[in-house]
Chain A
Amino acid sequence: MKDFDVIRTRAHRLDTPDKATGKAVYVDDIDKPGMLYGALLQSPHAHANIISIDTSKAEALPGVKAVVTSKEAGSIKYGVSPARYDETVFAIDKVRYVGDEIAAVAAISLEIAQKAVALIEVEYEILPAVFTIEDAMKDGAPQLHEDFPKNLCAEVHHEFGDVEKALAESDIVKTTTVKNKRQDGACIEMQGCIAEFDRRGTLTLVSGTQVPHYVQRTVAMVLGMDIGKVRVKKPYVGAGFGIKASANPMELACCILARETNKPVKMNYTRDQVFKLARARHGFTHTITTGAKKDGTLMALKHECWLDGGAYSSFGIATVYYAGSLLGGPYKLPNMKYDGYRVYNNKPTCGAQRGHGAVIARATFEQQLDMIAGDLGMDPLELRVKNMMEAGDTTCNDLNMSSFGMAECIDAVRNGSGWDEKKGKMPNGKGIGMACGFFVSGAGYPIYRSDTYHGTVIVKLTEDGGTALVYTASAEIGQGSDTAFAMIAAEALGIPLENVRLESGDTDMGVDLGAYSSRQTLMTGHATKEAAEHAKAQVLEVLSGLLNVPVEEMDIKNGFIEFKNETPDITDIRTRYIKEHRGWIDNPDSEKLTFKEASRMAFLEKGSIVGTGKYKPHLLGGKFKGAAVGTSPAYGCSAQVAEVSVDVETGQITIERITDAHDCGKAINMTSVEGQMEGSVSMGIGEAMHEEVMFDDKGNVLNNDLAEYKIVTSMDMPQVDAVVVESDEPNGPFGAKEVGEGAIMPTIPAILNAVYDAIGVRVFELPLTPERVYWAIQEYQKKAG
């Protein structure tokens, strides 16, 4: 094994001392001189034509500085995928969900802005609304978007191999349907932003976003500005999980208010508005048919999926592709057919959430694998081992597993949970279940069609030579990416982590597509490594000239220059360094030549030493339509075992323990990897057990707060034993790949399978509320007579 000095440790994160002391600045902590406060007018109706908007009373309210509607904002459409730009900042002639933005106000206080919003008079013509897939698809159903008959936002049809033939050749064929409910990201920080123009016309938008780059492009497009005149900066962000992975209407409205008033304007969503914006997990209905041979060999998968999409597209096109393509692995599956449909309706818009598109598909499939194993009398774990892909394998839909520590993951959870001692031997009411999963380590292509680099990084050495500054436009949103990149830079330069400083999340620092699709460690990590190596090469080149030692015979390690052969005389360099730094406290006195001295010499010879790095994936994936979605330079994978107990009288499930193993390639920071695993498990448990966004029959979110929308608390969370499995990913920086999203994949199906093991009843609808489980038990008992 290569030996590393900085990565693969439990280094403390760079940002946590400030976060622990309340010093870390999030967007709402920022105050600007002369700052105004913005508020939005949002539709109270799920579907209505706008007949007229009268802003005169709002404008007349003292303290109001601007009232803007589509008149000021214009009609440029935006969204996530250019193929489905279907939103405007403000509704132009109709509103499509409760929460659709109509106008915004900037005033000298938030109270006045809110009062003014209430004074805007809108005349509506109420239209019939649709809230379910079935109603939206009916003949004669009200149409949300003219160009999309039957409210069909997107459809996907793929077939790899010959599914019907393979099913006919199978010994066992199972079909099941699983439904989940819409989830909410429920980041503890609600979205907020501050926009400001300077007198030269440059716009700076500070926003709690996962994707400064995409926000910059969207703002520039919608406001009709040069990209070079739009700067998007991300302060610390109270997490994202996908819901902050695209420009939101508030950010755009805020920029327009800043333009109209020439003042800094701050806006925040309330918790209710966060639920209205949504952009979180879709509602999915998956029907899956799997065929297998008697010995457990998987033959074919036939899959149909319907997505409850909401009023606009957001990430939906990618979601509907992911929902199908990410069942191609992690098992050897020669034949796969997928038909996916995403349907518009008059509810808030769904988008991407941790494990984008693939979580419920995985839950459906992994539950079915257990059913097949049961029918075949096989241990479900063995069925998985039998069919598991190996490193180097490619799925039928062209996803290549360049590294794949799945066997190790399964071993780890088997041993860690005591699977062999427990499976089939637990008392009634107690159960154990397992599942596997895999996920992209960054999307193979950007959201817009482009040859762009996915990440560029600059490493600049300070003039005294002692510190490396890393500049990246990537987004630290809590996952620990700043620390990971500082560690990568330190490792690549050969200096201690304490000598690296890092700035991130600012579009002026370069291009980075941001924190989504579990991409940054691999992609930004590569660019960071390259930039650091570039800086290092420049230092060694100058040193080579000064000492007359070939570059290949030198290296930098732990902040010192190492010479492979004879150590040259360093006296001249040291004397020169110290002379220039008379009176400083930190002059080197070590026997070895330090990085600092070498880097200072490089500065004296060449001026600022700047290393640059960049990354884009090699050409990936097949030629079929939609082949791009699901491709990735690498895939993380994981296995989990859940242990549960079920109270048969009440349907109450308690999760006793989760054993989780994830292959993240080489772990840059062990503690952060475990943190991602444990956090993923908690989000998976929430979704499995109780998270569900509920609506009334008018399209209002019923549980629009964190009291009624229940995320996991410290009381619900079981012991999680997280085992980090480290393969060596050839396409990853220092062998690293993802953990942030992939780790959620097995949680829900492992729980579903454990519940079955406990009570012998399959539940096909999420979340597993006591009521739903109770009725499933009743139904089962009735059938069993």
Chain B
Amino acid sequence: MKKIISVTINNEIYEIAVEPNQTLADLLRYDLGLTGTKKGCDTGDCGACTVILDGDVVNSCLVLAIQTDGSVVDTIEGLATEEGLHPIQEAFVEKGAIQCGYCSPGMIMSAKNLLDKNTNPTEQEIREGISGNLCRCTGYQKIIEAIDSQKS
């Protein structure tokens, strides 16, 4: 039985009917066309589906859509503005932190959450901040450089 929820995604309010077993990742990707959020496992292991839910990073494949009723969700699509890429996105481009790009949206959301909460993270804190986001391509080095370049 579908249920109507109201959720704010990237500053837009959505009133939408969701299945009780539908995940937030699937809601975003398949119902709302916000396909920037990726899925690499669907079991909470890879971090490709990372979004920010009420100010905290979550694996959206582990969150039921129905649980987000009344919540605020930020996805990768909400970062860039008309003026251009978000500075963290710029840094990822600039430093060569993106190869296949499949981990990148989730990685960038984790980086944003980290920098929102800690404007001056140490290298160790950066490593911890993205430890739930697997990247098979880069060896993380340029990702860490990119995040480090955004410290204040």
Contacts and interface: CB of A to CB of B under 8 A. Distances in A.
Contact of A20 (B89, B136, B138): B89
B136 A675 contact: no
B44 to A, nearest CB: 8
Given A16-B92, A241-B136, A478-B99, A22 B131 contact: no
Given A188-B100, A236-B100, A22 B75 contact: yes
A271 B46 CA distance: 11
B41 A271 contact: yes
A706 B41 contact: yes
Q: Which of A10, A17, A188 counts the most chain B CB atoms within 10 A? A: A188
Interface stretch (A45-53, A591-599, A712-720, A728-736): A712-720
B87 to A, nearest CB: 11
A720 B140 CA distance: 10
Interface in B87-104: 89, 92-96, 98-104
Contacts of A271: 40-43, 45
A681 B101 contact: no
A107 to B, nearest CB: 16
A279 to B, nearest CB: 15
Contact of A188 (B85, B98, B134): B134
Interface stretch (A25-33, A58-66, A414-422, A553-561): A25-33
- Secondary structure call for the B interface: loop
Given A19-B104, A22-B105, A675 B142 contact: yes
Interface in A2-40: 10, 12-13, 15-26, 28-29, 31
Interface in B37-80: 37-46, 48, 75-77, 79-80
Nearest to B105: A22
Contacts of B108: 20
Q: Which of A241, A678, A711 counts the most chain B CB atoms within 10 A? A: A678
B40 A682 contact: no
Contacts of B5: none
B110 to A, nearest CB: 10
A297 to B, nearest CB: 36
Contacts of A705: 41, 43, 45
A720 B142 CA distance: 10
B36 interface: yes
Contacts of A24: 101
Contacts of A188: 38, 40, 46, 48, 100, 102-103, 134-136
Given A22-B76, A236-B100, A239-B99, A715 B137 contact: no
Contact of B141 (A18, A21, A185, A678): A678
Interface in B105-125: 105, 108
Contacts of A720: 139, 141
B27 interface: no
Interface range, B side: 35 or more
A478 B101 contact: yes
A675 B93 contact: no
B7 interface: no
A517 to B, nearest CB: 18
A238 B138 contact: no
Contact of A717 (B98, B137, B139): B139
Interface range, A side: 35 or more
A675 B99 contact: yes
Contacts of A12: 93-94
A557 to B, nearest CB: 26
A691 to B, nearest CB: 11
A687 to B, nearest CB: 12
B101 A19 contact: yes
Interface string B10-44: 00000000000000000001100111111111111
Contact of B127 (A20, A236, A681, A715): A715
B42 A21 contact: no
B139 A679 contact: yes
Contacts of A681: 139
Contact of B137 (A13, A674, A679): A679
B101 A29 contact: no
Q: Which of A24, A26, A712 counts the most chain B CB atoms within 10 A? A: A24
B105 to A, nearest CB: 5
Nearest to A677: B139
A713 B79 CA distance: 25
Given A21-B85, A22-B35, A238 B100 contact: yes
B100 A477 contact: yes
B77 A21 contact: yes
A234 to B, nearest CB: 12
Contacts of A237: 100
A20 B85 CA distance: 8
Given A190-B40, A717-B139, A26 B29 contact: no
Q: Which of B33, B44, B75, B101 counts the most chain A CB atoms within 10 A? A: B101
Q: Which of A18, A22, A186, A675 counts the most chain B CB atoms within 10 A? A: A22
B107 to A, nearest CB: 9
A700 interface: no
A23 B77 CA distance: 8
Nearest to B41: A271
A17 B93 CA distance: 6
A713 B100 contact: no
A672 B101 contact: no
Contact of B144 (A479, A706, A714): A714
B96 A479 contact: no
A21 B80 contact: yes
Contacts of B127: 714-715, 717
A261 interface: no
A715 B143 CA distance: 13
Nearest to A25: B35
Contacts of B43: 271, 705-707
Interface of A: 10, 12-13, 15-26, 28-29, 31, 185-190, 236-239, 241, 270-271, 477-480, 671-672, 674-675, 678-683, 705-707, 711-715, 717, 719-720
Counting from the closest, the 10 A-B pairs by CB-CB distance are: A22-B36, A478-B100, A19-B101, A238-B102, A682-B139, A678-B139, A671-B96, A29-B35, A22-B76, A239-B100
Given A238-B102, A714-B128, A714-B143, 19 more contacts: A20-B92, A22-B75, A22-B105, A26-B35, A31-B30, A185-B136, A188-B38, A188-B46, A188-B48, A188-B100, A188-B102, A189-B102, A679-B139, A681-B139, A682-B138, A705-B45, A714-B130, A715-B131, A717-B139
25 contacts: A16-B92, A21-B76, A23-B36, A28-B29, A28-B35, A29-B29, A29-B35, A188-B40, A190-B40, A238-B38, A238-B100, A239-B99, A239-B137, A270-B42, A271-B43, A478-B137, A671-B95, A671-B142, A682-B136, A682-B138, A705-B45, A706-B43, A712-B139, A712-B140, A717-B127
